[in-house]
Amino acid sequence: MSGQKQWEKVENRSITLAKGFQAGGIAAGIKNEKKDIAVIYSEKEAVAAGVFTRNQVKAAPVYLCQEHLENPIQAVVINSGNANACTGEQGTKDARLMAEKTAEATGLKPGEVMVSSTGVIGVPMPMDKVIGGIVQAAAALGAGEEYDLAAAQAIMTTDTVTKQTAFRCSTNDGEFHLGGIAKGSGMICPNMATMLAFLTTDVKIERSLLQELFAEASDKSFNSITVDGDTSTNDTALILANGLAEGIEITRESKYLPVFKEMLIELCQELARKIVEDGEGITKVITLNIRGLTDEKSGRVMALSVLNSPLVKTAFYGEDANWGRILAALGYSGVTFDPDKVDIYIGPYQVAANGGSVPFSEEKMKDVLKKRDIPVLIDLKNGQDEVTAWGTDMSHEYISINADYRS
């Protein structure tokens, strides 16, 4: 492929850009006045792929999604305000009831519905409000800008901005689309911590291939971001593919596989970055690139060890080029490497060479550190692989938000 992209971004759109998808988002009273229930609907059976929290304590809807994952799927129901986590037997029943009521309202079978929840933990679901809300959201289904926005709003908790994006790809065989919405501000971390993402596409694709591509895209995006390192009980990222884009089938041999894969990774990364940028009480976004790796997996472990270190995070908040804390965080990541080969750069300036200090201008460094976006590069000089991960600083504001919010 040439350097030029084969697809374009479609502004202000997300999950109903792909053919045959509709969405509805309404306020059912679970949260105060704000929208809190979304339904996503596909006019035709879709295949679904998903990645879920690796926390052993999983909310009831996560189990339900894992059960339904290989079914033909036609709807997703999502509520914010209550996570339906640590809610025991009743929680399982409530998640099932949400699938049933959504199926009833859209003319489907319960097994064709996915369920997702986010919000406070350990409190039983207000099912009267939820059921009323499902009926209302199903009645509000439609496609277009306002429907995308309503769904994006309905899945928010402490988020301050909606997170959505969509791409259109035009080919000689016709157009296809990919769009997504996401939520999550605090408690974002490796392994899908309190974040939800829902993607739709109109390509035709087999479930196993979609699952493989989506898992890789998630590793490079949702699993490469962190705000506070806590892994939540509810994290879910789902993609539905309904095959309504005529003439576009993605197979392992398809000429469109590379472009679809690229779009999927870029869309997931864009949503992931939006989540980091909206991190609770942050003042800096750190883009950490680790090079010279023998494998990506251990690189991601190291990157998240650095980005989760409270000492690294507070140093960036304090605009201090404290590379010793970065090296120390690599050192306790559990990954074996040679500390005496490590080079570290903050912005364009090298601050450590071969594990030791390098003189740099504190004056010029100040200009780098006072910006909101700070690139950090670590070179382990040990191989050809590299990873990129995104994190934040830790501020006074973070403490305030999390001391006051029972989630």
Binding site for a second copy (CB under 8 A): 54-58, 83, 85-88, 120-124, 186-187, 191, 228-233, 309-311, 314-315, 317-318, 320, 322-325, 327-332, 336-337, 339-340, 352, 354-357, 394-396, 398-400, 402-404, 406-407
CB of 62 to a second copy, least distance (A): 11
Compare residues 13 and 313 and give the one whose CB is closer to a second copy: 313
Using alpha carbons only, what angle is made at residue 46 by residues 129 and 117, rounded to the nearest 5 degrees?
Answer: 30
CB of 194 to a second copy, least distance (A): 9
Compare residues 160 and 354 and give the one whose CB is closer to a second copy: 354
Of the candidates 128, 111, 141, the one whose C-alpha atom is nearest the C-alpha of residue 48 is 111
Compare residues 231 and 269 and give the one whose CB is closer to a second copy: 231
Name the H helices within 161-206. Answer: none
CB of 346 to a second copy, least distance (A): 13
Name the H helices within 220-372. Answer: 257-277, 296-308, 310-317, 323-331, 362-369
CB of 174 to a second copy, least distance (A): 44
Instruction: Quote the tokens at residue 163.
Output: 């997170």
Name the H helices within 2-84. Answer: 60-68
Catalytic one of 87, 194, 226, 388: 194
CA dist 286 and 307 (Å) reads 8
Compare residues 23 and 288 and give the one whose CB is closer to a second copy: 288
Report whether 52 contacts 180 (CB < 8 A): no
Q: Give the max Cα distance, the chain.
A: 68
Compare residues 46 and 282 and give the one whose CB is closer to a second copy: 282
Helix (H) or strand (E) holding 289: strand 285-293
Q: Is 92 a catalytic residue?
A: no
Helix (H) or strand (E) holding 75: strand 73-82
Instruction: Quote the tokens at residue 36.
Output: 């809190």
Half-sphere exposure of 43 (CA within 13 A, CB side): 12
CA dist 53 and 231 (Å) reads 7
CB of 54 to a second copy, least distance (A): 7
Q: At how many degrees (to 10) do helices 207-219 and 257-277 cross?
A: 40
Other C-beta atoms lying within 10 Å of the C-beta of residue 92: 16
CB of 399 to a second copy, least distance (A): 5
Compare residues 17 and 65 and give the one whose CB is closer to a second copy: 65
CB of 117 to a second copy, least distance (A): 13
Residues 6+ apart with CB under 8 A from 19: 177, 202, 242, 244, 245
Compare residues 162 and 223 and give the one whose CB is closer to a second copy: 223
Residues recognised as catalytic: 194
